[in-house]
Chains A and B, each alone.
Chain A
């Protein structure tokens, strides 16, 4: 198509192809105009253009809806210009998915919504979709619990609003999705992951995060903590038949381990300090070799027959000093350090990820089918995680007024072994417990080779008798899992008139999961000699949530006014079932079937059901293009509440004003400005059976009879629904023709009447009482800054920054209750206390006298004081910065995210300290010279008692105060370097090098132990803020290739 051609003699043809930077596809219909004229062409079906230019100083302008306009200067010697158009992040017409799946212009919203594109998630694809959001959304805090394959991650929006469950509601294609949490406490166990693992990042078009109650109120009770709206990819994008294949392989290596010492090996009282003391006190003249083998360490059976050979911690003799000692590997072995013995236990994890999708779109509508195979081999021996996802969706036009949409996802999530972790006493299936602080001289190779054998005394081959067996044996004690899950919905839209559509939607999410824990007979010879022939537990879990929605949607314009809205009703039914069979001993060893149980065959049963019925309505009204008003209201009826409190109503409203439009002050400098504000409330129910008193069976039947006691929790027949009230104000501002975009939000959320089982004085007769608790308040500021500092023909640089600061305050609890304890580990509590931020760390500290001196006993040992406030887990701020560079066909994206402030309780200091394994236990010649506490004695005298390093570190590491470590970090979270090959327009090939968790760029100086500060157990509230023998996360690096036509 040519218009207006001047046929001067100097004129020449300029040609080229225009492609999209997003997916490399050629773009049809791109307008190419000579700047300053009306002369131009549009690209043809192959994305090519051919344009005659005349003068030397011509500039071509390429523009296309939804993409950034680009200018190219035509030079004298070059007649071919291929152009790549970038998506326009700052485009005024940017749409986001909002509540009920309705796509709306961001500019029309009176609240903050932020989204992440599916492509961004899919490229540097994490196993857990939650981790893919880290650093990308302002105000969203991700806790990447551990490095376990398929491990749980926790997501919280705008701070912890609840003492029990602060995680947002997940909605996939319009239907709620169960993101059950792995509610592992600080003592942990196997991490079976969180529910969102069953959403495959490759299958996602976009994720919208509805942060506040305004955005989320329509979703009802469970939306008080925000909503994660997931929209899966659909066929209509393909314009005809399309295929996409994507494959990646990544490697997990170099786990983040604490800093170990390599100077002293296993045993006790083996250092030079003790040697010298022994000779001095006994008038002997033992050589170090003689002393070491008599008093430090000597292996006989690993059960106590030798010298300190049962539970050896690294307080033994000096390594690499020429000593020869009996060890588990044989008699008279060189006593040498093995600096990498822990690291060598971890293998290189390998993740392969393969997806294929086929789609078609046409008059009939569109269809798309998707398959993904995600296969993870863990960094711990004998661990894995496999997931197969089958997705299908369609939009079929049954009639010009009737459209049928279906979304169906089937997921098989399978692992042969999800290792236990954390420290919880006898941990037969936790390799991590056995290996983390094992003695520093232990040679890991023979443990691997002999995991299945016993020594001459009949005990399993091991370096001692630890809390956990030989880690390679522990790795054979498996926690396997198979989960089959189906989720999706069917939607029928009937377009009644131009402005009114009726929609019916039936959605479900259901899963069946089997978990098997099997402990081999050999283990029981190892840990306690109890002679068990093995144990097992087979657990079957079922979860089901169905949602039926019926709604009417209207959209009508009257002159300058436009009104749209929704009215609907929802019925939600949630069921859970949890049955298990177990045997605490077996007749035939290692035959894990219930008919082989020795003694009683163990059985447990649990089921629950609840329903919420709701009606809701939303109205959005706008005047011209600058004034926007939204109102929503919802009433719920929940089966879980007492009859007279069952029904609860909650409204919201918000207002947005585009003042640049209203006042007509838009300019090239100040392109766009909007202010917005809103108020919302959301009610919330509780879990089933919280109001009715029951008896509970005490353990197994007693001589064939069920015996009962009253439970430790007092139910409450007067419970009221929880209520969350929030205000949010903010603004969007865009400058320099959208090159700089700024979005600022302030919010204040008050959660009242929280339903809690709160621990009370047990003398009241109960350990816990169900109450409506007082008030938690979160106020905060979120800033989103999107800029494009450089943009020219071949090169562009985008910087996207998310930053959020949340202030949390527990305003009141209940009556005169003093504290709410969320969890506890070894005397370190995490509590909510009135007047403080959520997550106060409570524990003992050094006893100090009135002048602030540390007080020690008359023999120079530390004294302590209980119940001191030692820190808080709430961070000061969190943020992320993404730098995206594009040069021709190449792009580089780098995401750095940070958490500043917020403490964690480091169990590694407790156990790595008292176990003598960590570097700080052997620094500054401590083990040769001992230590004198700079303190006064209980009698008030200056302390002059010299104590050994072993005693000093025992004092140090048993004091909770010393476990509280500032958890600040800056991490190099994601890097991708992509290259799109030049191909014919009919297909595209993209290759990327990808990396995740590549480096911890900053840690607080308090964290001198080398610990990964981003830690927790599971995704529930119980494990929050505790670090303790979790499976370490590792650096993840690999490559992905994507092919589509």
Chain B
């Protein structure tokens, strides 16, 4: 009897322990999430994810500096000291995780010899990196993204190095596109539903954007890029019309409400900024009433501002201009986040010609400038209620006004290019803010009354996220120190920011 019992005990133990662990690998395979996904769906996820963090901008450092967006609430007025206080760099981590995504796509697409997919991912990687480094300046790049190799505290690279990487990514992508591969990018991606040719044009257009940005700090390289692109329209085609825009349009049906429009307009949280409203009014610009609605109280267009502000108790929620909802409610959506508009190309080329960065001279510059204005008028007058786009006649009339016509000294012409570019980039955030810091036109002003007093320009860059001080303290120390020396948001001009006399 005893022996039998011992045997039962023994056999049972062996059974329980050994026989059943065979299925452990299967049991510990996650049934909820995929271990592999199609590259098309991953690319789309990467673009939408980055777009949500960076293009649906709610960052007050940027909105205050660019002043496209006003301030609705009177109740903020008595105490503006904390205006810049809650500015946080929430996007920082989003940039890096989306970079991991882009690298994953590039690795897998390369292995599968899907070079159009590689090129699209490289193009987007470059766009992401340019946006990020234009916000923060020096960042970890060469040692970044290597957590899986145990690199948890990557060193920082200077911005010139990062820009060279951007330039190289775009060049590599442009050359892949040039080769004319047939693999699909996939219809899921939100820019062009997989139109390879449009991706190719975006890639080369972004090369010109990059060239303009570095043109004051590394003119030879800027010339080289511009020449490579504009000399070879067959190999390196650029944006050809307003349909070549790169936008992410959200469904707006409560599943996808992210978007510049949603936060700033649909909820009525904010109205038009003073500078935007005043520029459009001063220029007698037909875009004014396409973009903005008149104040409820008296039908006037009136912007609000947090910069240079003298609190105006007369302003109420009824006496300011909100956005024209007919403009952005396109197809029942909450409006697009804009990555690229064709009008930008006109203004880039106009600057290149005017500054002699590419041969063509004043006549070519004028043509490019007028193309830019024309495209912008069309881009900003697509209305949901079917009302007429701004007519060619209106545009022609606009281009002979003193304030907006191609006239004056070269310097005045540059100012006109840049002011028009500012208007054309309405509803964008990162790119106009970067251009305002490069060109000083229009001026980016600081807020008065902030406890960061004594500045004559708006912030120079975004602060580093506090986590970098906590978790990467040695590498980031130098940059944090400089950030705080410069009053938090004024911690040094970026590498390509050659403005003088600014603080």
Contacts and interface: CB of A to CB of B under 8 A. Distances in A.
Are these two chains actual partners, yes or no? yes
Interface of A: 268-269, 274, 295, 303-305, 308, 310-311, 496-497, 500, 502, 528-530, 532, 550, 552, 567, 569-571, 584-585, 598-600, 602, 605-611, 613, 615, 635, 637-640, 643, 646, 688-689, 691-700, 702-703, 705-710, 712, 714, 759-767, 769, 815-819, 821, 827, 829, 831, 842, 857-859, 861-863, 866-867, 948, 950-951, 954-955, 958
A406 to B, nearest CB: 22
The 9 closest A-B pairs by CB, nearest first: A599-B253, A762-B93, A584-B254, A761-B472, A707-B45, A763-B140, A694-B33, A700-B255, A765-B145
Given A692-B35, A693-B35, A816-B152, A762 B17 contact: no
A864 to B, nearest CB: 9
Given A639-B28, A710-B104, A951-B81, A759 B97 contact: no
Contact of A269 (B25, B73, B78): B78
Contact of A643 (B24, B79, B98, B316): B24
A765 B147 contact: yes
Contacts of B465: 762
B388 interface: no
B97 A762 contact: yes
28 contacts: A268-B75, A274-B78, A304-B74, A304-B316, A305-B317, A502-B9, A529-B268, A569-B13, A569-B17, A605-B32, A613-B17, A615-B17, A637-B21, A639-B28, A643-B25, A688-B27, A689-B28, A695-B36, A696-B33, A699-B255, A702-B44, A706-B37, A710-B101, A761-B140, A762-B467, A764-B154, A818-B473, A827-B466
Interface of B is mostly: loop
A710 B43 CA distance: 11
A702 B48 contact: yes
A763 B21 contact: no
A817 B13 CA distance: 42
Contacts of B34: 694-695, 708
A640 B5 CA distance: 33
A817 B5 CA distance: 54
A948 B42 CA distance: 54
Max count, chain B CB within 10 A of own CB: residue among A697, A702, A709: A709
Contacts of A817: 152, 471
B489 to A, nearest CB: 14
Contact of B12 (A274, A569, A762): A569
B144 interface: yes
Contacts of B190: 702
A764 B317 CA distance: 45
B82 to A, nearest CB: 7
A707 to B, nearest CB: 4
A643 B23 CA distance: 11
Given A567-B9, A763-B139, A702 B20 contact: no
Contacts of B395: none
Contacts of B316: 304-305
Contacts of B46: 709
A944 B145 CA distance: 50
A764 B32 CA distance: 26
B44 A602 contact: no
What's the interface size class on B, roughly?
A: 35 or more
Interface string B211-224: 00000000000000
Contacts of A609: 27
A703 B251 contact: yes
A950 B34 CA distance: 53
Given A599-B254, A709-B45, A761-B471, 17 more contacts: A496-B1, A552-B9, A567-B9, A611-B20, A638-B24, A640-B28, A688-B30, A694-B35, A696-B33, A697-B33, A702-B48, A705-B188, A759-B467, A762-B97, A817-B471, A866-B469, A951-B79
A708 B152 contact: no
Contacts of A703: 188, 251
Interface string B92-112: 110011111100100000000
Contact of B466 (A615, A696, A866, A954): A866
Which of B12, B16, B74, B469: most chain A CB closer than 10 A? B16
B188 A528 contact: no
A529 B41 contact: no
A635 B13 CA distance: 12
A712 B139 CA distance: 19
Nearest to B269: A528
A707 B48 contact: yes
Contacts, number: 271
Contacts of B5: 496, 500, 502, 552
B471 A818 contact: yes
Contact of B317 (A303, A610, A640, A819): A303
Interface string B457-476: 00000000111111111000
Interface in B301-357: 313, 316-318
B397 to A, nearest CB: 39
Nearest to A464: B75
A711 to B, nearest CB: 8
Given A304-B317, A637-B21, A762-B92, A867 B469 contact: yes
B283 interface: no
A613 B140 CA distance: 45
Contacts of B161: none
Contacts of B17: 569, 613, 615, 635, 637
B93 A600 contact: no
A34 to B, nearest CB: 54
A521 B108 CA distance: 47
A95 B49 CA distance: 61
Nearest to B470: A819
B82 A695 contact: no
Contacts of A550: 9, 12-13, 16
A584 B251 CA distance: 13
A271 to B, nearest CB: 11
Nearest to A764: B147
A124 B98 CA distance: 56
Contacts of B469: 866-867
A760 B96 CA distance: 12
Given A304-B75, A700-B255, A692 B41 contact: no
B299 to A, nearest CB: 18
A821 B100 CA distance: 23
Interface string B283-308: 00000000000000000000000000
B232 interface: no
Contacts of A639: 21, 24, 27-28
A861 B83 CA distance: 13
A41 B78 CA distance: 89
